[in-house]
Structure 1
Amino acid sequence: MVLKLTLAAVDKLLPSTYYLHVVVAVAVVLITRVVSQGRRTTRDRDMHGRIFLVTGGFTPLGITLLEQLAARGAHIIALSPKPINAPEIDLLVSVLRQTTSNEQIYAEECDLSSPPSIRAFCTRFLTGQEQRLDGIVFVHEYAQRGSLLSTTNAGLASTGAPSSGQARRSGKSWAEALEDERKAASLATFLIITLLLPVLLVAPVERDIRIVSVVNPFYAAASSLFSTSTPSAPAKIPKGLLGQEGWRALQMSVYVRHLQRVLDALPNAGQVPKTDEPTVHVVSDKLQKSNIVSVSVCPGISRLDTVAPLLGASRASEGPQSKLGTILYILLQPLLWLFAKSTTSAVQSILHVLFLPTPFKSPRAMAHAAANPGGAGASDPVAAATSDLRPEEILKPGALYRECAVVNLPLPIAPPPPDADVDADAKDSDPGVNPPPNDNELGGMHLGQAVWEHFEVALKEWEAAHPSVEEKAVAESGQTTTASVDQDASAGS
């Protein structure tokens, strides 16, 4: 009786002539949902015994990444701008340990908006008992700074960069404070890599080390301007929020590509470990010269990490949230569920570059070498890895990844600087220096070198503007001494 009444009600509300339309509509919605979530990685990797340093680990995307790595047994060091005994940090770490059955999850205090704090953490790490690192993932770069609905300092985001309160105390305008946040996010990555790179370079050559920079999805908005200018020309930076965020993302991608060129050009980069075992070499002069691989990853547009901050509805903001943005975010949930990614879908591209084998860690090459210890595969693992007719995907050093695939971003090649010939002659005179190869990827070597030099100059200015407590004390004591000397001199006269 109940079933008959239900069928009668359904037939009344939805006549049988519309059944096909409903089925088609549901199918379209489901297909749209699947497509919008992007590709999922088909790779996996055992992370036991591997140590990863993660910045921005307590953002929505960062927490998802920590969970995925911890579930595979990784030892994780997550940086937090808040003290590690803060209630929310302690709670998140405890929950991650319980849900993943992995006790090797630790939080370390490091304010990415403060150069002294970054240097203090790196000093603690470099002077500690355990200095091993198998990977560094810069998740803090993913969150954009600013909101489309914010017109005051209250809209500034706080994701490891200067907070809105700091901006108000500095007396800067909203646009200037946002620009400082963007610079701080990129310079924090540059400083951490600069300080920790020495310990990575002295690691055993057979160790597979990866440096991953997670960039926002707006890089295409600045590609046309970035290709015809240099990072030292701020007048050509796009004016809009998306264009400025895209500029920062593209700048970091160009830097990461040039970092790989530098790693491959180091004198010890082409060394191949000698062993009597039928193992496959990690490094080679053909495809991968360094055991350290740096890549950029764009997770796409995420509901929590991209759309919510854009609307000013992010809970990570220290200032008051935008009421209009929060209302819009709630009302748009059905569309966001359909078209924007969840954090689980957004993290897939990051996992993909962490799981992909390098050219000499590919299962095909290793299996070929084990089956033919004295054959051609042992001496030429590249040929062994590509001998099968079916192509095998391997990690491309220095590339930009999105949707679990390499992005071929067409950037015109930057011209060489006026003193390029002088630099080339200097390098040729030193046999111990190998100049980076100009592969013409992501603007070529000269654009990457310009970005690198721009970061070096900006880092000096950033550190000068944010001195440590000791430097402040020395400066104040110097001023006091000078004042007392002047007073004595005036009294004596």
Structure 2
Amino acid sequence: MPVNFLATVYVEGRQAIPYYDTLKVAVPALTLLYAMKYYFAGKRNTWQRDMHGKVVLITGGTSGLGAQTAKELAALGAQIVFLVRNVHDGWLIEYINDLREATNNQLIYAEEVDLTDLYSVRKFATKWIDNLPPRRLDMIICCASVSQPISMPRQTTKDELEPQFQVNYLGHFLLLDILAPAIRAQPPDREVRIILTSCASSLTGEFNLEDLGYLKRNYPAYRPFLVFGEAKLYLALSAYELFRQFNNYKRKDGAPCNVHVSVVDPGMMRSPGFKRFITFGRLSLLFVYLLLWPLSWLFLKSSVDGAQSMAYAAMSPEVVEKREVAYISNCQVRPPPPRSEFKDPEKQAALVKETHKLIEAVEKNSAIERNKFKKDSEKKKEQEKKKEKVNKDKPASKK
């Protein structure tokens, strides 16, 4: 009984406590460890919002930060539309079915959007806005991200662009740019939230409009982390010009703009991208990640912890009350990173202008290549048909 035990300790002293010498060392150590873990995990989102029936488009929603964000919103009743590279992947069907069962929400499905192919982005976005009346749209969350290991040689996408630049910035920019009419067409009483993800690496990015997309720069060695930081910087900066364009739009009904843009820094996480970065993208170096796991577990956030700021951006009324871009970190609206570009609307507008020029040039070249491929394919088919016809018309050989 607790009373008898306490009485024994009172009479005989602390030595009556079993394993006292071990506990007096272990308990303070475990308490300190818990306190450190609690601190580095960051704040928790305390806002709740009825998401029933609200339509949410999300990129990168099947792993890491995006998966946890999608799960939380689906549990609140939101209709989740995953924008994925390939809707025919077998695991995707199982993933969606498991999520439907876990959240008791059947309004979850996927659409094909390959951010490494601007033509794929345009096809989806054009199909989405080609509706009368306009389709409902309450939230767009851009979580998809590519982080190349340091040892990775320079690669290119279908559009001949650096993968990190195209996925982390250009693909999302084009998606939002084409969907803009559908966003503006939403009823004035329906708040539309656009949530973009950034990180501290944006501080390392170079603002270089002369070579947008790392097409001309030729460093002695390819440094993927610099491209990653630049892409995250551009995505965050474009959010400010995007918000101004929506806010300056004059609706025919005279109602004010009800579009709200947030840039979220979820913090350092033990994400799949982090694991790939640490192991240099090599399975043989997985032991490095395992050796560092205790430190990463203590000092880095999990996907659940990182998703708290995403949930805050999706639910907090402060995002709506703040009539400007909300830069969110650790479940708080904070000042943007200490870079002059965040306070320079002219540079932000120039970035958007140059991005439009780059997209136009890339899509033009891609269209030429598609047409060339189509003609070559048709020519090949015609040749095969002629060959089959010749073989068919040949007289049977005599015995």
Q: TM-score, normalised by structure 1?
A: 0.65
CA deviation after TM superposition for structure 1 residue 358, in Å: 5.5
SS in 1 for 2:263: strand
User: CA offsets per residue over residues 42-81 of structure 1, 9 Å max, x none?
Assistant: 1011101100111111122222112111100001110111
Equivalent residue in structure 2 for 1:145, among 144, 147, 164: 147
Aligned match for 1:120, one of 107, 123, 128? 123
- Contact 1:304/1:343 (CA < 8 Å) preserved in 2? yes
Measured after TM superposition, the shift of residue 400 of structure 1 is 1.8
For residues 250-265 of structure 1, what are the structure 2 equivalents within 5 Å?
250-265=233-248
- Equivalent residue for 1:357, pick from 317, 336, 349: 317
Q: 1:467 aligns with which of 342, 367, 389?
A: 367
Please point out which of 95, 98, 105 is paired with 2:98: 95
Would the aligned equivalents of 1:52 and 1:135 in 2 still touch at CA under 8 Å? yes
Asked if the contact 2:270–2:296 (Cα under 8 Å) also holds between the matched residues in 1, the reply is yes
Give the paired residue count.
Answer: 359
8 Å contact from structure 2 (residues 168, 231) kept in 1: no
CA 1:106 to 1:119, structure 2 compared with 1: closer, same or farther past 3 Å? Answer: same
Indicate conservation of the 8 Å contact 2:164/2:228, yes or no. no
Correspondence 1:71-220 to 2 at 5 A: 71-83=75-87, 85-127=88-130, 131-140=135-144, 143-148=145-150, 150-152=151-153, 162=157, 179-220=162-203
Q: Could you tell me which amino acid in structure 2 is paired with residue 38 of structure 1?
A: G
Q: Distance in 2 between matches of 1:65 and 1:125?
A: 23
**How many Å separate the matches in 2 of 1:467 and 1:265?**
33
- Matches of 1:464 and 1:96, distance apart in 2: 39
1:79-115, CA deviations, whole angstroms, 9 ceiling, x for partnerless residues? Answer: 11112x4210000000000111100000111211112
Code of the aligned partner of 1:123: T
Which letter maps to 2:113? C
1:51 corresponding residue in structure 2: 55
User: In structure 2, the residue corresponding to 1:247 is in which secondary structure?
Assistant: helix
Equivalent pairs: percent with the same residue? Answer: 23
| CA drift at 1:411 | 4.5
Counterpart of 1:404?
331
Of residues 333, 346, 351, the one that matches 1:446 is 346
2:115–2:166 CA contact under 8 A, matched in 1: no
1:183 to 1:358, Cα distance in 2 relative to 1, 3 A: same
Match of 2:46 in 1: 42
Unmatched 5+ stretches in structure 2: 1-14, 381-399
Residue of structure 2 in register with 1:322 after alignment: 282
**C-alpha separation in 1, matches of 2:210 and 2:49:** 37
CA distance in 1, matches of 2:96, 2:361: 35
Q: CA deviation at 1:198?
A: 0.4
Residue 271 of structure 2: SS of its match in structure 1?
A: helix
Alignment of 1:413-424 (within 5 A): 413=340
Please name the residue that 2:32 is paired with: 28
* Cα distance in 1 for residues equivalent to 2:196 and 2:91: 25
* Alpha-carbon distance, 1:36 to partner: 1.1
> SS where residue 48 of structure 1 aligns?
coil
CA distance in 1, matches of 2:28, 2:188: 56
Equivalent position amino acid for 1:132 in 2: R
User: What displacement does 1:300 show?
Assistant: 1.1
Instruction: Tell whether the 8 Å contact from 1:232 to 1:454 is kept in structure 2 after alignment.
Output: no
Instruction: Decide whether aligned partners of structure 1 residues 472 and 57 sit closer, same or farther in structure 2, where only a CA change above 3 A counts.
Output: farther
CA distance in 1, matches of 2:303, 2:78: 20
C-alpha distance 295-475 of structure 1, shift in aligned 2 (>3 A): farther
Alignment of 1:309 with 2:276, yes or no, is yes
Q: What is the rounded CA distance, in whole Å, between the counterparts of 2:20 and 2:269 in structure 1?
A: 38
